[in-house]
Amino acid sequence: MTTHTQKQGLALGMSTLAFAFNFAVWTMFSIIGIKIKSELGLNETEFGVLVATPILTGSLVRLPLGILSDRFGGRIVYLVQMILVAVSTYGLAFATQYWQYLVVGLFVGLAGGAFAIGIQYTSAWFSKQRQGTVMGIFGAGNAGAAITNFVAPLIVVAWGWRAVPQVYSIAMLVMAVAFWLLTSTDPRHAERKAGQLKHVSLAQQLAPLKDVRVWRFGLAYFFVFGGFVALALWLPKYYITEYGLDLKSAALITMLFTLPSGAIRALGGWFSDKFGGRTVNWWVLWICLVCLFFLSYPPTTMTIHGIKGDVSLHIGLNVWVFTALIFVVGIAQGFGKASVYRCIADYYYDNIGSVGGLVGVIGGLGGFSLPILFGVAADRIGVRSSCFMLLYGLVVAVMIWTYYAVKAEKMAVLANKDELRAAMMKEELI
């Protein structure tokens, strides 16, 4: 008979693996989209809409899927979701026109909802004290983007791009069956079914969403997760157009961003448990601020009129320096994705499904809107690094809101604690 500890391990392991499979499907347009762009002659904005379309659905369904998981249990919801994703993905191979790719892409985007399901199902197996580490391990399924970077180009070279959704569809069905056979109903849902735990009403599930703090976490996740998804979709084409790499090389080098960023999330969860989610968040934002400053600077050639003639000075990032900076941003975002959900567990442990679902929606909308904005900026400004300029501005906005919000929270606490406020003021005078 399987012990509780073994069930915990299987729940965590299979949920993470299923999330990785879903994430690979969710981001496959980063590879096949380049081929579709070439076939249809799309501009940068149209390409941005193409790769972002699945992200829209995956974002919007996170909140309802989180609520459904709270209500019916993550195990059954996960199974149904994976079957629907497999069917939709297979249909993508038969699209031929731009509008068809967009419509089918909306259904494929259901893969992005796996996060809200898995986070609820996984968290139900572990205590509050271990949530940061556990959710970090589960969130490492983001590395599914690296699966696409590695596997999809090989399939494209061997059988053509239309084989990618067909292979992915079969793999998703196998994953769904394996998940169902190897996992068990989570203890929290089992208690509800047995009448030992009271069912939470929809109004109670949605009540925390009125808290401004939830939306602040959402904005932070908009950058660390939405920015990660957007770059995972955008970087292969960026390497091809900016540095002249072929599709296979561009996809493989993008793995230096997607794979570490996904895998490091588990370590980010452990750090968040040890040092606090808020502290880790601040380090993440500062590191990204510095890296994005350099990534935003476009290649520039300056002409200096010297005494003996003109002197040209070129300023720009070569492919290796660029990749190193992107690698650091990916690592930081991996830590940030874990720390945001550690904060959610601290404040909203009993509503992780709904709160985590909403924060996931906001983060996913970042993954949807940012690639489109990248395309619009590139078409309008004519500078490829404009995508990093947008991300730089986003980091600044997150830092400003977080700083003043945390300051206001501290002042609200001190307003009701005269002795603590007096002690702090005395310490400042000393």
**Would you say the C-alpha torsion 315, 318, 321, 322 has a positive or negative sign?**
positive
DSSP annotation string for 321-332: HHHHHHHHHHHH
The answer to whether the CB of 242 falls within 8 A of the CB of 311 is no
DSSP annotation string for 284-313: HHHHHHHHHHHHHSPPEEEEEEETTEEEEE
DSSP annotation string for 246-272: -HHHHHHHHHHHHHHHHHTHHHHHHHH
Q: How confident is the model at residue 287 (pLDDT cuts 50, 70, 90)?
A: very high
Contacts of 426 (CB under 8 A, 6+ apart): none
Q: 193 or 149: whose pLDDT is higher?
A: 149
Rounded-to-integer distance, Cα 54 and Cα 387, Å: 20
Mean pLDDT of 310-325: 85
Q: How far is CA 254 from the centre of its chain?
A: 15
The answer to whether the CB of 21 falls within 8 A of the CB of 171 is yes
Q: How many domains does the chain have?
A: 1
Say what the pLDDT of residue 429 is. 41
The answer to whether the CB of 117 falls within 8 A of the CB of 65 is yes
Q: Which tokens go with 212?
A: 């401004």
Say what the pLDDT of residue 183 is. 86
Q: 269 or 91: whose pLDDT is higher?
A: 91
Of 23, 36, 238, 50, nearest to 118 by C-alpha is 23
Mean pLDDT of 258-280: 81
Which CA distances in Å does 100 have to 50, 69, 364? 11, 31, 22
The contacts found for 163-170 with CB under 8 angstroms, 24 or more apart, are 163/93, 164/28, 164/31, 164/32, 165/28, 165/32, 165/89, 165/90, 165/91, 165/92, 165/93, 165/108, 166/90, 166/93, 168/24, 168/25, 168/28, 168/89, 169/86, 169/87, 169/89, 169/90, 170/86
Is residue 315 helix, strand or coil? strand
- pLDDT (tens digit, 9 = 90+) per residue, 390-412? 999 999 999 998 888 777 777 76
DSSP annotation string for 19-83: HHHHHHHHTTHHHHHHHHHHHHT--HHHHHHHHHHHHHHHHHTHHHHHHHHHHH-HHHHHHHHHH
The answer to whether the CB of 31 falls within 8 A of the CB of 17 is no
Beta bridge partners of 309: 306
Q: How confident is the model at residue 61 (pLDDT cuts 50, 70, 90)?
A: confident
Is 50 exceeded by the pLDDT of residue 131?
Answer: yes
Q: How confident is the model at residue 203 (pLDDT cuts 50, 70, 90)?
A: low
Of 103, 101, 99, nearest to 32 by C-alpha is 101
- The residue range of the domain holding 145 is 4-429
Give the other-Cβ count within 10 Å of 255's Cβ.
Answer: 18
CATH number at residue 320: 1.20.1250.20
Is 90 exceeded by the pLDDT of residue 218?
Answer: no
Is 70 exceeded by the pLDDT of residue 248?
Answer: yes
Say what the pLDDT of residue 172 is. 94
Q: What per-residue string of b and e applies to 21-43 under the rule 16 or more CB within 10 Å gives b?
A: bbbbbbbbbbbbbbebbeeeebe
Mean pLDDT of 252-269: 83
**In this prediction, what percent of the chain has a pLDDT beyond 70?**
87
Beta bridge partners of 303: 312
Maximum alpha-carbon separation in the chain = 89
Of 317, 323, 321, nearest to 253 by C-alpha is 323
Which CA distances in Å does 334 have to 77, 140, 176, 266? 26, 8, 26, 8
Rounded-to-integer distance, Cα 127 and Cα 416, Å: 31
Is 60 exceeded by the pLDDT of residue 191?
Answer: yes
- What is the average pLDDT value for the chain, to the nearest integer? 83
Q: How far apart are the first and last CA of the chain?
A: 64
Q: How confident is the model at residue 116 (pLDDT cuts 50, 70, 90)?
A: confident
Say what the pLDDT of residue 339 is. 87
Is 80 exceeded by the pLDDT of residue 202?
Answer: no
Mean pLDDT of 296-301: 83
Q: 92 or 189: whose pLDDT is higher?
A: 92
Mean pLDDT of 350-378: 81
